[in-house]
Chains A and B, each alone.
Chain A
Amino acid sequence: MSFLYFLINGISLGSIYAIIALGYTMVYGISKMLNFAHGDVIMVGAYICFFSLTRFNLPPLVAVAAAMLVCMVLGMTIEKLAYKPLRQATSLAVLITAIGVSYLLQNLALLLFSPNVKVFPSIVGNGKISMGDIVVSHVTIVTIIVCIVIMVGMTLFTGRTKIGKAMRACSEDKAAAQLMGINVDATISVTFIIGSGLAAIAGVLLCSTYPTLVPTTGSMPGIKAFTAAVFGGIGSIPGAFLGGLLLGIIEIFAKAYISTQISDAIVFAVLIIVLLVKPTGLLGKKTREKV
């Protein structure tokens, strides 16, 4: 097994983390809350895709679209019912609510989908291509491409479109945004919808790479993606991508060259070290008021 092989797999895993981290970071940026239920939205997306493929025999793209649609509605509903009433509450109350929503989703999944492991069929089949002396699966390549497309798309979206700019304005200063005529509640809603749609994509890619699907499938990747978002600088979109990619690469290298058992410990140790050296994360910005 070569260095290059591990690197490509690290980038692929990192791409999944990056897509999840993007949802975390966008939601945090605008609502200053950690949506701990985000990881479980991934799981829901994966189940919807799974049933669309296996039970309803839908074509892969339609199955992904169905997963995205369900997750978007779910994300919007969670925000409306659980978080919006807490807009003025302390961040601790919101955090506890988010953890509650996370458990609620996991337990609903246990009830509806049973705890039995579902073997997820890869969305792009099990083909492989050989590049020189290494063999890479189609899923790995597709994951990396999807991540690049999302990264470019989101950068253009937040930089160029009216709603994207409104999201940035709300992230910075909600009162000032309202004075501009921006409907802050609607903008927060849109952010949750986009984040949840991305979570669905991440769920499908994750389970296409690691095909065991259970109700807790989203937890660990969710926590790691959250780590990636903090690592890159929470609230920063490029930070989410950088953090996600680095985390994936570190994890795969730790597994390959050090130990499978302690790879997660290594990942979190790296996070702690980065935060000690740079508390705002790699690309996190500290804004200072000018008088």
Chain B
Amino acid sequence: MGIILKVENINVYYGNIHAIKDVSFEVNEGEIVTLIGANGAGKSSSLNTITGLLRSRTGSIEFDGENISHTPAHKIVSKGLALVPEGRRIFQQMTVKENLDMGAYTGRDGFDDRLAEVYERFPRLKEREKQIAGTLSGGEQQMLAMGRALMSSPKLLMLDEPSMGLAPILVEQIFDIISSLHKAGTTILLVEQNAQAALAVANRGYVLETGRIVTSGTGRELLNSAAIKKAYLGG
């Protein structure tokens, strides 16, 4: 099990706002790793820096043995790194099928097989193939966002708050899907505010607080840590 993603000492700014401070973490092949933290802790900024949408002023980001710190955002996905962004960001005016097409934009080889896999995992998407994506329910939109990312057959799938705004039953369903994707061999980096659920499925976790990593450990360790319980698990 080699390291697939190594983030070393990154610092990210929005103008004068220092959003990410000396953050380092890594993901091994086959793991689910979670980044947890409160609102504004810097979780999304971290993921967006990995995908090249934001730039770090220092340090490096290595993916699959290659330094991608300066790779343009549109060249990231073809390296095997896909992000399901916060708020889903599906293409609202396109159909479900067209959204999935966009997910496979860089690699058309094996398109039909991947589409079949995604439809098998999310049968609802097949039923709604021709529907305009903006008219899907929130849960369906999240599934579409995940399906779209899976269309690129990523080596590492990054998910930014996939359970946000969903009813409890749907949250459970999303976490089941994450577990089953993991079992099927996908490496996952999961960002969540729902620390309880995230730590329960994760091998390891990092806790972000105002742009810094303050704690890390296995999922179980963090779940049982008194400080974490107090800050993120409501007691």
Contact = CB atoms under 8 A, between A and B. Distances in A.
Do A and B interact with each other, yes or no? yes
A181 B74 contact: yes
Nearest to A184: B74
Interface stretch (A47-55, A89-97, A106-114, A163-171): A163-171
A287 B134 contact: yes
B103 A180 contact: yes
Interface string A159-186: 0001001101100110111111111100
A128 interface: no
A189 to B, nearest CB: 14
A180 B75 CA distance: 9
Contacts of A289: 87
B98 A178 contact: no
A157 to B, nearest CB: 14
B26 interface: no
Nearest to B137: A290
B83 interface: yes
Nearest to B75: A181
Contacts of A290: 134, 136-138, 141
A287 B102 CA distance: 20
A178 B91 contact: no
B101 interface: yes
B85 A176 contact: yes
Contacts of B92: 172, 287
A183 B106 CA distance: 10
B119 to A, nearest CB: 19
A278 interface: no
A180 B89 contact: no
Given A169-B94, A287-B93, A290-B134, A181 B152 contact: yes
A291 interface: yes
A180 B138 contact: no
Given A175-B85, A287-B134, A290-B134, A180 B94 contact: no
B109 to A, nearest CB: 14
B78 interface: yes
B211 to A, nearest CB: 21
Pick the most buried of A175, A176, A179, A182: most chain B CB atoms within 10 A of its CB: A179
Contacts of A87: none
B40 interface: no
A262 B105 CA distance: 51
A165 B102 contact: yes
A285 interface: yes
Contacts of B106: 180-181
A255 B159 CA distance: 60
B82 interface: yes
Given A169-B91, A178-B52, A181-B74, 5 more contacts: A172-B91, A175-B73, A178-B74, A179-B51, A181-B75
25 contacts: A165-B94, A165-B98, A165-B102, A169-B91, A169-B94, A169-B102, A172-B93, A172-B94, A173-B91, A175-B89, A176-B90, A177-B74, A178-B51, A179-B85, A180-B102, A180-B103, A181-B76, A181-B78, A182-B102, A182-B105, A285-B93, A287-B92, A290-B137, A290-B141, A291-B138
Q: Return the 10 tightest CB-CB contacts between A and B, nearest first.
A: A181-B106, A178-B73, A176-B89, A181-B77, A180-B105, A178-B74, A291-B165, A180-B102, A181-B105, A183-B74
